[in-house]
Structure 1
């Protein structure tokens, strides 16, 4: 697991939107989305679910952030 992907998940958990996480990490929302997708592929479980424009962590996402 790459630290940058974990950092993206942590910031997403804190901020709640891809745009806010991207701004905090000086990346684009697309880059954050790709980082999260790659992390989900690595761990083999869904870590987030979209609710409108916001993103909510699944139980697995919360466990990984913890």
Structure 2
């Protein structure tokens, strides 16, 4: 099963457009973000990002997974608000 925290990292990287930007928004180190993405790529069995000098773009698999990631993360946030 895919890890929800890693899916949240993918979504943040996609929205920030870079690993460094996502790391800053998540209060992680860029290395920690990269490690989580590498683990997610292993879990999925495909590359999710194209890394460029000025940031990242999603691969087609990454784009497909992003939609699911946003839905899952949104549902988890809703569940947390419901029980708190």
Ranges in structure 1 where 5+ consecutive residues have no aligned partner: none
Q: Which runs of 4+ in 1 moved over 4 A?
A: none
SS at structure 1 position matched to 2:38: helix
TM-score, reference length from structure 2: 0.76
Structure 1 or 2: more helix by fraction? 2
TM-score, reference length from structure 1: 0.95
The yes-or-no answer on 1:44 pairing with 2:82 is: no
Partner of 2:22: 21
Aligned length: 66
RMSD in angstroms over aligned alpha carbons? 0.7
| Higher-Rg member (1/2) | 2
